[in-house]
Amino acid sequence: MKPDLFQAPEFGRATKKPGDKWAFWYFEPAAMPRDLAMDSRTVLALSKADAALGRLSGVGRLIKNPSILVEPYLAREAVASSRIEGTEASLSDVFKAEAGDGVDEDDDVQEVVNYQRALNRGIELLATLPISSRLILEVHKVLLSGVRGQEKIPGEFRRSPVWIGSPTDSPDTAAFVPPLPELLAVALTDWEKFVNETDGLPVLVVCALMHYQFETIHPFLDGNGRVGRLLIMLLLIERKVLELPLLYISAYMEENRREYYDRLQAVRERGEIQEWLQFFFTAVHRQALDAESRAGKLVDLRERYREMLQGRKSRAIEVAELLFSNPFVTVKRVENALGVTNQGARNLVDTLERSGILRKFGASGRGGRVYWLAEEVYRAID
């Protein structure tokens, strides 16, 4: 790490462990700011993000069954956040695995599913815990259990140094070296206090600064990015900005991955906090508008399918409802969800196929399981 690049003492400093001649340079973050002046461009970006987020929250309240949005939106967030870290699983891979009664042997798919489970676990914990070290340790444990990286102590803070962006696996050549393990307790205590005791800043400013500082502290050996992005949704739900996890902000960050990393680093090196806030608010604005638009398409499709199937003596309309949580179906999925026989499930799938709602997608996975896809629903989600 090049110490001369870090010229923003208000956000931290490059330093070495005293008394150790073999010590390497690392970054020691400053305490988080409890007050922050924003320039006009940042204020405008915040205003747009707030408005878009408010509309998205309204969508969740107006839809009779908003839960139809939660599972597909959560899947989009999980896929995008995991892909930022190098996972190759697609949205269709994840949907197919879930429709097939569980995850197959694909490690990438399992990592995405773990992200979904970790976020759901975090939402459960908000009923009894604030956003805190206890909560993030539990979320991290779920995220890394049973997948690649599980050897990197799931549910525990790191006890060794880490570094980021080194082509030769050396702190000297790394672009950034987070604080040493012995500094984590102090940094995380300040981080917790900021998240839970800062009343004078807008919620989205708290989200942006919380995420920046968490990635800078880098408290885990693996999974820091995914936990840090997951925390954004948890804070919005805790502060009741959103009642449901409908914002898939990671999609914007994946699309603009290089800028995302550069903006975080620019705060550490040059104190470019306004630029980071503008990037973050733009991500919220774009993804909230996108989620609102998709919600309208999904609701319209749901109502069209209900009208198309209304009055039929079969339970086909119940199968159609399943498509909005996951547009891939198997006979077994219908059988389990509706409690019908295997032949009854086949008949219901056939009814939707004849209606043009489902198309046979083909067989894959162990045993050649056959999938059907609701293409219109999938296009509205993806």
Q: Tell me the CATH number at 348.
A: 1.10.10.10
How many structural domains does the chain have? 2
CB of 264 closer than 8 Å to CB of 279: no
CB of 247 closer than 8 Å to CB of 74: no
Q: What is the pLDDT of residue 127?
A: 95
Q: What percent of the chain has pLDDT over 90?
A: 78
Same domain, 87 and 201: yes
CB of 154 closer than 8 Å to CB of 141: yes
Phi-psi region of 368 (alpha: psi -120 to 50; beta: other; left: phi over 0): left
Same domain, 319 and 289: no
Q: What is the pLDDT of residue 292?
A: 93
Q: What is the pLDDT of residue 272?
A: 98
Q: Considering the domain boundaries, does residue 309 fall inside one?
A: no
User: Helix or strand or coil: residue 367?
Assistant: helix
Of 33, 51, 37, the closest CA to residue 274 belongs to 37
Residue at a domain's end among 230, 259, 294: 294
**In the predicted model, is pLDDT for residue 290 greater than 90?**
yes
Of 113, 283, 148, 134, the closest CA to residue 212 belongs to 283
Measured CA to CA in angstroms, residue 11 lies from 7, 17, 32, 195 at distances of 9, 19, 7, 16
What 8-state DSSP symbol labels residue 234? Answer: H
Q: What is the pLDDT of residue 140?
A: 97
pLDDT band at 366 (very low <50, low <70, confident <90, very high): low
Torsion of CA 323, 328, 331, 335, to 10 degrees: -40
- Euclidean distance between CA atoms 175 and 198, whole angstroms: 31
Same domain, 261 and 322: no
Same domain, 66 and 115: yes
- Please tell me which residue, 130 or 87, carries the higher pLDDT value: 130
Q: Considering the domain boundaries, does residue 248 fall inside one?
A: yes
Same domain, 37 and 121: yes
Query: Distance from CA of residue 57 to its chain's centroid?
Result: 17
182: amino acid identity, one letter: E
The whole domain housing 325 covers 314-381
**In the predicted model, is pLDDT for residue 63 greater than 80?**
no
Same domain, 254 and 371: no
**In the predicted model, is pLDDT for residue 330 greater than 60?**
yes
Residue at a domain's end among 261, 294, 327: 294
Same domain, 274 and 345: no
DSSP β-ladder status, 359-364 and 369-373: antiparallel
Residue at a domain's end among 226, 260, 294: 294
Give the count of beta carbons closer than 10 Å to the beta carbon of residue 37.
9
- Please tell me which residue, 17 or 33, carries the higher pLDDT value: 33
